[in-house]
Structure formats: C-alpha cells, structure tokens
Amino acid sequence: MKNNFLKQFLNGGQQQYLFFFCIVLLSRIPFINAGYGAEEDSWGMMNAMQRMALTGRFEISRFPGHPIPEFIFGLMPFTPYYVINICTAFLSALAAVFFAAVLNQYKIKKAFWYAAALSFIPVIFIKSTDNMDYVWALAFIIMAWYFFLRQWLVLSAVLLALAFASRFTSIVFLPSVLMLLYFEHKKWKSVTTYALVFIVTVIICYSQIIIHYDSKVYVVPYILGFPDLLKTLYKSSIGVWGLLGCVAACGMIIQIAVGNCIINRQNKMVVWLALVLALLLFIWQPHKAAYLIVALPFLVFLWAVYGNGKYVTSITCLLIASNFLGGLYLKDAYRTKQPGSIELKIAGQPILFDVCKGPLLAEHEKRLQKIDFINTVLDTLPLLKQPAIILSGWYTNELEVLARRRHITLNCMYFMEPQLLEKNCAQHITVYFLPQQDAVNDIRWKVSNLTKNFSQPLFKSNTPFIF
C-alpha cells in the first residue's frame, strides 16, 4: 500500500492537483525577475554564495545558518534572478498542492479553495517570488505534515528537519507531531524514533556550519532594536494580509470562533499548539511580517475545520485581490513613497494609502527601484575623489552583488567604528555614506553625530530613487 502512495495521492484528482500546481506557479512568474528580493538578507544570501564560489572558503549568509537554500543556491551563485527565484516559486506551488492533500486526508470540503487561500495570502505570495527561506520552510513543513498523516514517519521526520534547516522557526511543528504520535500509537518508541531521525538529519544538514563556525556567535542581536507597537501591529496585520486581506482574516477568525470543529479533539489540539508556538515566536521577535508565515498553514487549517466550506470562495477572492489593490503603508521617506498615494495620519504616524497598488505590486516596484538606486551609486563611483570608502550599511549586500555583476571594483563597509572614521579622515581618505546609514552607524556605536563629523553624504540632495 505504501509503495503506491503517489498513485493514491493523485487518485481521482490527478488533473486537479496538476492544474492547481500550474496556476500557483504561473501566478508567481511575472514577479521573479526583479532582483533577489527587497530584503537585505535576500541579497546577503547570494552575496555569501558568490564569495564562497570565488574564494573557496565556506560561508553562510547569516546566523544560525540556512543550509538547505544555501546549498542549492551555492550550486548556481551567478545565475540570473529568475533562475534563483523560480526555486522558491516552485516550492510555493508544491506547498499549495500538499496543503490541499493534507485537507483531503481529513476529508475537508473545498480543499483546493482553502489551499488557494493560503497560497495567495499577500505575505506568502510576495515571499514566493524572491530567494528568502520562509516559503522553503513552509513547503517542507506541509510535506512533512502530509507524509505524517500517511504514516511515512521517517520521511516526515526528514522533511521536518529540512524545514528546520531552511528556517529554524519550523521547530514549532515538532512538539505537535510528537504529541500526535503518542496519542495515536501510545508508544514512546514511535516518538523516540521520529525525534531521533529529526535530530540526526538536522545535525547532518548543519555539520559544515558546526565545523566552520564557533557556536558562541549563533545569536546576533538586531542593531536597530525592536519595532514600536504601531509598527508591530502593522506587520502582524496589514503587513501579512494586506488591507482587503485583513477583512478576509477577520472572516476566518469569526468562523473559527463560532464554528463547529469537524476533526477529533487530539488533532485539533496539536494544530492549535503549533499555531500558538508560532505566534509566541513572533511576539518574541516581531521584526518582519514574514516571520508569521510559519503560523499561517495552521491558521488556515483551523479555519477549514471550523468553517467547513462556508464563505471560502469569497474569502479567497478577497485575499487574491488584496495583493493588487488597497495598499496601506507606514510612511518612510526612502522606502514607501508611491506616486498617487494619499497621505493620512493615524495616531500621529504618517500613513500612505494607494487604491490601485496592493502590497505585491508595491513590493515588486520597490525591488526594481532599489536596483536602479544601487546602479546609480555604482555609476557615481568614478566621479568620487579618491581614495574613497562607501559606508553602505544595509545596502552593502546588494551593492556588492551588483558591483560584481558589472565588474566594478568597490570599497565599501557595512559599519565603520569611531577610530577607523577618525583614521580615514586623518589620512585624507574620504568616507561617503548612503542615505540613512549615518544614523545607522551612529546607533551601532552609540555615538550621536559621529558619522557626519568624519564623512559626507554620497548624494548632496535627496536621491530621485525612493524605495
């Protein structure tokens, strides 16, 4: 029976699964060639892989390491944007198909509609078009879930370990799996075997990192601190769902609150556990909306088992529309100014509203604008007084990757400590800082007006490229 699992997986719905996979994948294609992503870490991933290819020295993109995507991207560090990003798009389509299969295992009505709802939540759609590891982990979690339900426990444990090795927050699903294993088998042997396979696979995946890096440096604090309450609320609501999607999310939560669950208590409890753990992780580190991606399959699953097919079509359509319409952003002079935006103020915070540009379109535009800006920086380098150093801060990874692509020699630094700033000034080496990086450097060294005293802005006036 197990030897025919693929046949059984597709039984009675081969065309449906294939068609659904193609729809999800094709929806991502128009957005995969706008650089590696808007996040600094998107470019950091490829910058590290390119340096490793050029120097032969093992390197990771950031701690604690993300060995699965790093290994794959390390095989093709200089390939075009779309080749790298289509890997994530492919996994997002695979996640959608397996989520529908999970729902079908529970005999939930309109499984494909619920899977579509998950796939088109704006934060998942956006992160399906870049090279970040959020969707990689999501796909492996959902596949581990499916094969767990089919009793392929070793394969499930390996896939969950691959999720962890893509993004360590995937650990939130492990307690649920182990609890459900004990509930179903009433034997610690099954629990121990699953945990052991998981641990061994994780150790294998992280072996090179363990060998080459000191474990004491695995925790790296955020230099800029924690976001304030308003930004955290934005990231956890509009940042995840979009404006229209927040209406859809409210509909989901209402159905969960008033609906009748159609699965047994044990299955319901373990999914709730995974959701709560994922939410607690976000509360602990609420830096990005994408940190909540790991929670979303569990939330949508609970919506499916409580909603039982009601209003799923309308809510899914709202989520799809939310990607393209009704963008609402916290105003930032360098990141979120959009032509045609309406400026509002909420609790004293400037807010921009754009009816015709949802978060997916805005993100795509931002990625293109950032590339244009970095190319402008590179075009400016020959005009600078030499010798010169660029204090580039969070632009460093993108700057180095694009300079390498254009075969431009670049002297840039992420941070510059006070002593080095003074030394460069004394030696008549000009330090130029990119927009906002003077403030970032001051925060890093906890010295006010340090950077401006020993350096100068690369652009004397505001840059025309706003992102």
DSSP strand pairing (412-413 vs 388-391): parallel
The predicted-structure confidence for 151-162, as pLDDT tens digits, reads as follows 999 999 999 999
Using DSSP, state whether 17 is helix, strand or coil. helix
- Select the more confidently predicted residue: 465 or 317: 317
Work out the pLDDT band at 467, boundaries 50, 70, 90: very low
pLDDT at 59 over 80: yes
Angle made by CA atoms 135, 139, 141, in degrees to the nearest 5: 115
User: For the residues 75-104, what does the mean pLDDT come to?
Assistant: 96
Beta partners for 343? 352
End-to-end CA distance of the chain: 54
User: For the residues 263-272, what does the mean pLDDT come to?
Assistant: 91
DSSP state string for 332-348: -TTTT--TTPEEEEETT
- Per-residue H/E/C for 420-435: HHHHHHHCCCEEEECC
- Select the more confidently predicted residue: 106 or 352: 106
Indicate the pTM of the whole model.
0.90
User: For the residues 214-236, what does the mean pLDDT come to?
Assistant: 71
**Whole-number pLDDT of residue 13:** 61
The predicted-structure confidence for 13-44, as pLDDT tens digits, reads as follows 678 899 999 999 999 999 999 999 999 999 99
**Whole-number pLDDT of residue 10:** 45
State the Cα–Cα distance between residues 382 and 360, nearest whole angstrom: 35
Give φ, ψ of 416 to 5 degrees.
-140, 120
Name 399's Cβ contacts closer than 8 Å, sequence gap at least 6. Answer: 374, 377, 378, 390, 392, 410, 412
- Select the more confidently predicted residue: 384 or 46: 46
pLDDT at 466 over 90: no
**Whole-number pLDDT of residue 465:** 36
State the Cα–Cα distance between residues 414 and 44, nearest whole angstrom: 12
Q: Average per-residue pLDDT in the chain?
A: 88
The predicted-structure confidence for 171-198, as pLDDT tens digits, reads as follows 999 999 999 998 887 778 889 999 999 9
User: For the residues 209-214, what does the mean pLDDT come to?
Assistant: 82
